[in-house]
Amino acid sequence: MDKPTGPIAHDRFDFSPIVDRPPLRWPNGARVALWVIPNIEHFMFDRPSTSITPLTTGFVPDVLNYSWRDFGVRVGIWRMMDVMQRYGVRGTVALNADVCDNYPRIIEAGNKLGWEWMGHGKNNSMLMANRAEDEERQMIREIHAQITRATGKKPRGWLGPALTESHNTLDLLAEVGFDYVGDWVNDEQPYPMRVKSGQMTSIPYSIEINDIPAFLDGKQSPQSFGQMIKDQFDVLYEDSAESGRVMSICLHPFLIGHPFRIKYFDDALKHITSRKDVWLATGSEIVDAYRAQSR
pLDDT value, residue 266: 98
Do the beta carbons of residue 213 and residue 35 sit within 8 Å?
no
Do the beta carbons of residue 246 and residue 32 sit within 8 Å?
yes
- Among 49-53, 173-177, 258-262, the range scoring the smallest mean pLDDT is 49-53
Residue type, 275: R
pLDDT value, residue 6: 79
- Does the pLDDT value for residue 5 go beyond 70? no
Read off the pTM.
Answer: 0.96
Please state the length of the chain: 295
DSSP bridge pairs for 35: 248
Do the beta carbons of residue 174 and residue 200 sit within 8 Å?
yes
pLDDT tier for residue 63 given thresholds of 50, 70 and 90: very high
Write the CATH number of the domain with boundaries 34-288. 3.20.20.370
- Does the pLDDT value for residue 109 go beyond 70? yes
pLDDT value, residue 130: 87
Q: What percent of the chain has pLDDT over 90?
A: 92
Show me where the domains of the chain are located: 34-288
CA distance 244 to 29: 9
Residue 23, Cβ density class (10 Å: 0-12 exposed, 13-18 middle, ≥19 buried): exposed
Comparing 47 with 233, the larger pLDDT belongs to: 233
Do the beta carbons of residue 265 and residue 34 sit within 8 Å?
no
- Does the pLDDT value for residue 4 go beyond 80? no
Label each residue of 200-215 as H, E or C.
Answer: EEECCCCCCCEHHHHH
pLDDT value, residue 101: 97
Distances (CA, A) of 172 to 107, 178, 217, 285: 25, 9, 32, 23
What confidence tens digit (pLDDT) does each residue in 252-275 have?
A: 999 999 999 999 999 999 999 999
CA distance 64 to 254: 13
Query: Which one, of 178, 175, 138, 133, lies nearest residue 160 by Cα?
Result: 178
